[in-house]
Amino acid sequence: MDFYQNRALRAILLAIRIVLGAVFVYGGYVKLQAPWALFGMAIDSYHLVPLRYIEPLARTIPWFEVALGLLLIFGWLLRISATTVSLTLAIFFAAMLHAFLNHQEINCGCFGPGEPISKWTLLRDGSMLAGSLFLTWMALRSPRRMA
């Protein structure tokens, strides 16, 4: 069966793209509304990145998120953007899981300050990662542009 002739599947993939894209654009936008150092503190609280890399990361990740989100929403460079989103979410999820398992009482930093890492945030990001991996798999196995 050709998945891309299946309208339901196309609709699901479109929904995943739009939802993930909107979440990325929103996450980046929220961070850009606050001083970069605030997001820098959130990154630093994970204790995974040396201090000298915090500023470049805190200044670039929000723009990166907005760009990736727009690529997903508009379906441009879908193989590259979906793969990059999956890798990004995998890194974020691994960092959150590491903090959660080590009982670090820190905020996720996903959508600005004030959101502690919990089973709920892990479930949310895990679901996004699952959706993103599915999208990536479908994008990579298709010779054509999806949805």
Partner 1 sequence: MKLYTIALVALLPCLAATPDVDKGKTLGLPTAPIRMEIFGDFTCLHCRLLHEETLPLLMKEFVVTGKLYIIDRAFPLTGPPHQYSREAFGYAVAAARIGKYQEVADALYAHQQTWAQAGNVWDCVTAVLKNPADQKKVKDLSKDPGVLAEIEAEYQEGVQAGVNVTPTMIVTAGGKRYPLPPAPNYELLRSMLNGFLPK
Binding region for partner 1 (CB under 8 A): 34-38, 40-42, 44-45, 51, 54-55, 105-107, 109, 113-114, 116
Separation in Å, CA 70 to CA 5, 15, 24, 147: 25, 14, 8, 15
**CB nearer partner 1, residue 27 or residue 109:** 109
The pair of structure tokens assigned to 147 is 């949805």
**Residues 26-53: b if buried by 16+ CB within 10 A, e if exposed:** bbbebbeeeebeebbbbbbbbeeeeeee
Smallest separation (angstroms) from partner 1 to the CB of 51:
7
Q: How far is the CB of 33 from partner 1 (least distance, A)?
A: 9
Around Cβ 85, how many Cβ atoms within 10 Å?
Answer: 27
Closer to partner 1 by CB, 83 or 107: give it: 107
In terms of CB distance, is 80 or 116 closer to partner 1?
116
Residue 35 CB, nearest approach to partner 1 (Å): 5
